[in-house]
Amino acid sequence: MNRMTRRRIGSLAMVVAVASGGSHLAAQNGSQFRAWKASALADAVQVKPRAACPTLVSLTGYEFSVITATTVAASADAPEHCRVIGQIQPEIRFEASLPAVWNGRLYVFGNGGYAGESLDAPARAANVRRGLAHGFAVVQMNTGHDAATEPLGSFAVNSQKFLDYAYRGLHVSVLTAKRIRARSSRPRICPDAPAMATGRRASRRRRLPRSKPSTAA
C-alpha cells in the first residue's frame, strides 16, 4: 500500500469517526421535519411543473445522463411526483424527485459512514417520501461508488471515487438537480442539507461562492 493510499484511508477513517459519533446515525434524517411548520414557507409561491416528466430525459448530455424520468402516482405518504434517475460522470448515481406542487425549496440528504448505499434502500426511500410530503424537491446520491461491490473504504484506491466521496459527489448532484428542476419550473432553488455526514460537509461548503440559481427568462 503506497503513501497516497494510506493517506486516503486515514482521511476516510476520520470522516467515518465523525459520522459515527452517535448510535442513531441511521435515524438522523428521520428527525429533519420533526419541528417543521408549513408556515415557514407561507410566502413561497406554490409551483406546478411546466414540462412533462418524461421529457426530462432529453437533458442527457456529456456531464450527466437521465436514465429514466417517470411520473409516480400519489400514495398515502407522498404526493404525485416525477422520479428522475440518472448518473453523473463518472459513477455518481443520483435521484431527483420533483413534486407536482413544489414549495420552491430543494431538500438534499446525505449518506452515512462510507456511503455507497442503494438509492432504493428502504430508509432512503422513506426519507424521499418524507421530503415530498412537505412539498420539497428531494435529491439523493451514492457519492460515486457502490458499497455492494466496493465495501467499506476499498473504493478509496481510486482517486476519482475518493474525491467524489469527499466532496464532489454532493456538489455536482445539487447542480444537476437544479438544472433538472429548472427545466421543469423556474423559481429560485435553495438547497437544505440535513445532518448526515455528507450533509454536514455541504453545510460547511455554503461558505464558498455558490452557483447562481436558475431564474425566469
Higher pLDDT, 39 or 129: 129
According to the model, what pLDDT value does residue 103 have? 87
Does residue 89 have a pLDDT over 70? yes
- Whether the CB-CB separation of 202 and 106 falls below 8 Å is answered with no
Per domain, the residue ranges of the chain are 3-20+46-205
The model's confidence at residue 69, banded by pLDDT at 50, 70 and 90, is very high
Question: In terms of C-beta distances under 8 Å and separation of at least 24 residues, what long-range contacts does 36-44 make, across chains too?
Answer: 36/134, 38/134, 38/135, 41/103, 41/104, 41/105, 41/135, 44/103, 44/104, 44/105
Give the C-alpha separation, 83 to 120, whole Å. Answer: 12
Average pLDDT, the chain: 78
The model's confidence at residue 41, banded by pLDDT at 50, 70 and 90, is low
